[in-house]
Structure 1
Amino acid sequence: MNGSGNESLAEFAARHGLTQSAARPSLRKYVQELWQRRTFIWNFATAKTASTYSGSQLGQLWQVLTPLLNAGVYYLIFGVLVGTSKGIHNYTAFLITGVFVFTFTQRSLTAGAKAIGGNLSLIRALHFPRASLVFANVLMELQQLLISMVVLVVIVLLTGEMPTLTWLLIPPLLMLQLLFNVGISLAIARLGAFVRDIQQLLPFITRTWLYFSGVFFLIPQMAAKFDHKGYPWVGKILEANPGAVYIELMRSCLIGDVSKFPINHGLLWTYAVLWAVVAFIGGFWYFYRAEERYGRG
């Protein structure tokens, strides 16, 4: 486009200081932009939390009622009919803890899958780090979990448990699970942005994951059964499953030993840290690499 006619439009724009409006910034700048918008992320999450159940008469009570009702159904099916409660101390608190903790991850994944597709008008109208939407969605689920945790503590106390020093480990455990949830939500957000069918498949994926995460049964007890059958590797997979790791650690903090089967708490904490770090770094990098493509088309 110059005198010789050989200069491309992109070269001409670059020579005059023009840059692509949706260009992906450097990783360092991207992280800085996210930090600068931390207030927006928190306020956006709070607003979404307030509006989620605004159309129902019970309002935000459904944040707690939904997992409690699910726990009631699971208790009837697995605790009473199937009999998985045998040999487990305080099965009521055991089950509700599992449901609440897994619901945090499950809902974070579901919200992440819709983070881009559900906010296209905002993405196309304003320039901001798209990861902000995913962070806001997971923080919204964290806010709902914190409300549920208050109810869970009341249930634990009413079922005969007493506060111990292990309760002090709950905040760092929730922080690790938060990092893990953000990481996998960022990864699923990128998939959901370009493969919309993932939103239809996700309920089946998370439901299957739930059944393998020890929500209704004790992982060490199930691992021992597979060990006796000559399949110890199955038990190892169940124990390393991140869904089960955060559940087992939360139960250990709130209830303590729930059965005669020993639990390797040191190994569980190692898994919890590794899953959080790997998921967060990997998910963030995977999402960031497609930053300039979100909202197109």
Structure 2
Amino acid sequence: MAEAVVTEPYPTVAPAQLAARYGLRAAGERPGIREYIRSLWAYRHFIVAFANARNVATLTTARLGQLWHVLTPLTNAAVYYLIFGVILGTSDRIENFVAYLCCGIFIFGYTSAVASAGTVSITANLNMIRALQFPRASLPLSVTITQLQQLLASMAVLIAIVLVTGEPPRLAWLTLIPLLLLQTVFSGGLAMLLGRLGSKIVDLKQIMPFVLRTWLYGSGVFYSLTTATDNMPTWASTLLHLNPMLVFIELAREALITTTPPSHFSVESMWLVALGWAIVMGALGFFYFWRGEKEYGRG
């Protein structure tokens, strides 16, 4: 008779130990925040390329194409000038009302467009999210870059308007560079925050136009908020003047226009408020979006 071969059982190893030994992790697990930042940096070329593709694809079917990125804010400016400047007589109370109005429309339009596109940045790209592995924050960030590219083209038109309306070139124009940087950080954080909210609340994209319209009317785009709040209690006026878009708009006007209506805060204080909003919204939006990284594209 053949002798029975006795084999020793394989040692039992816990799945967690095997995963640690071979560097494995659960599929769809949210990476650490430092690792997430590194992966976003590694995908920076993808983010820029995706933003460029969106920019080129936008309005390609329109006869005037990309020119509408400039014509749209100019058309809005013409409409608001007719209503607020001519019919309501605001132009009589604000020096160089044309430049004043255009500054508000161009600066507000940038963040408004980022907020609208950021809200659907996840829901509009579900097929790509489910097919490819990449940091999902690339989507709201690419939306921000797309709108920044369009803003930079519009800024050339805005500066031309400022010159035509009689404003002289000044060194103060250089402050637009850090101002747009702070606004971009703020807008990017807002896009990430709204991107996650939009993926959880599908109807948010239907609500956003009303929210943005209210924000527009409260940001002093076509009137002086300081004058409008003269009879308000100090605390209420201060609260309204902490509106981030009002601060960005007022700083742009301070840079481009020689004489502007008096502001509630000093220029130095407005820079501190703008910096604070950029840091808070940038960090809050990024952290909130990162917390939901493993949720996107599911369901």
TM-score bracket for this pair, using the shorter chain length: over 0.9
2:58 paired residue number: 52
TM-score normalised over the length of structure 2: 0.91
Task: Please say if 1:195 is aligned against 2:197.
Answer: no
Task: Please say if 1:100 is aligned against 2:106.
Answer: yes
1:204 paired residue number: 210
1:73 paired residue number: 79
Name the SS of the counterpart of 1:224 in structure 2: coil
Deviations 1:165-194 (A, max 9, x none): 111100000000000001111100000011
Kept in 2, the 8 Å contact 1:88–1:258? The answer is yes
1:284 paired residue number: 286
Kept in 1, the 8 Å contact 2:173–2:255? The answer is yes
2:6 paired residue number: none
State the 1:16 CA deviation.
Answer: 7.5
Q: Residues 122, 214 of structure 1: CA spacing in aligned structure 2 closer, same or farther, 3 A cutoff? A: same
Q: Residues 268, 127 of structure 1: CA spacing in aligned structure 2 closer, same or farther, 3 A cutoff? A: same
Deviations 1:214-265 (A, max 9, x none): 0011122223242xxxx22221122110010000000000003323667510
Q: Residues 261, 113 of structure 1: CA spacing in aligned structure 2 closer, same or farther, 3 A cutoff? A: closer
Return 258-267 or 150-159, whichever deviates more.
Answer: 258-267
1:250 paired residue number: 252
2:97 paired residue number: 91
State the 1:198 CA deviation.
Answer: 0.5
Q: Residues 86, 269 of structure 1: CA spacing in aligned structure 2 closer, same or farther, 3 A cutoff? A: same
Deviations 1:7-57 (A, max 9, x none): 998898778764222111110010000011111111111110011010111
1:233 paired residue number: 235
Task: Kindly provide the amino acid, as one letter, of the partner of residue 77 in structure 2.
Answer: A
Kept in 1, the 8 Å contact 2:121–2:140? The answer is yes
Deviations 1:138-172 (A, max 9, x none): 00000000010000000000000011111110000
Task: Kindly provide the amino acid, as one letter, of the partner of residue 271 in structure 2.
Answer: W
1:82 paired residue number: 88
Kept in 2, the 8 Å contact 1:222–1:235? The answer is no
Q: Residues 118, 273 of structure 1: CA spacing in aligned structure 2 closer, same or farther, 3 A cutoff? A: same
Once residues 8 and 117 of structure 1 are traced to their aligned partners in structure 2, the CA distance between those partners, rounded to angstroms, is 38
Deviations 1:269-291 (A, max 9, x none): 11100000000001100000000
CA RMSD of aligned residues (A): 2.0
Q: Residues 84, 8 of structure 1: CA spacing in aligned structure 2 closer, same or farther, 3 A cutoff? A: farther
- Structure 2: tracts of 5 or more residues without a match: 1-8
Task: Please say if 1:270 is aligned against 2:276.
Answer: no
1:293 paired residue number: 295
Task: Kindly provide the amino acid, as one letter, of the partner of residue 79 in structure 2.
Answer: V
Once residues 23 and 48 of structure 2 are traced to their aligned partners in structure 1, the CA distance between those partners, rounded to angstroms, is 35
Name the SS of the counterpart of 2:121 in structure 1: coil
Kept in 2, the 8 Å contact 1:94–1:255? The answer is yes
Once residues 109 and 260 of structure 1 are traced to their aligned partners in structure 2, the CA distance between those partners, rounded to angstroms, is 29
Once residues 285 and 72 of structure 1 are traced to their aligned partners in structure 2, the CA distance between those partners, rounded to angstroms, is 40
Once residues 251 and 231 of structure 2 are traced to their aligned partners in structure 1, the CA distance between those partners, rounded to angstroms, is 21
Q: Percent identity?
A: 46
Kept in 2, the 8 Å contact 1:220–1:263? The answer is no
2:146 paired residue number: 140
Kept in 1, the 8 Å contact 2:59–2:65? The answer is yes
Task: Kindly provide the amino acid, as one letter, of the partner of residue 253 in structure 1.
Answer: A
Once residues 106 and 159 of structure 1 are traced to their aligned partners in structure 2, the CA distance between those partners, rounded to angstroms, is 26
Once residues 170 and 224 of structure 1 are traced to their aligned partners in structure 2, the CA distance between those partners, rounded to angstroms, is 29
Name the SS of the counterpart of 2:169 in structure 1: coil
- Structure 1: tracts of 5 or more residues without a match: none
Once residues 67 and 34 of structure 2 are traced to their aligned partners in structure 1, the CA distance between those partners, rounded to angstroms, is 40
Task: Kindly provide the amino acid, as one letter, of the partner of residue 291 in structure 2.
Answer: R
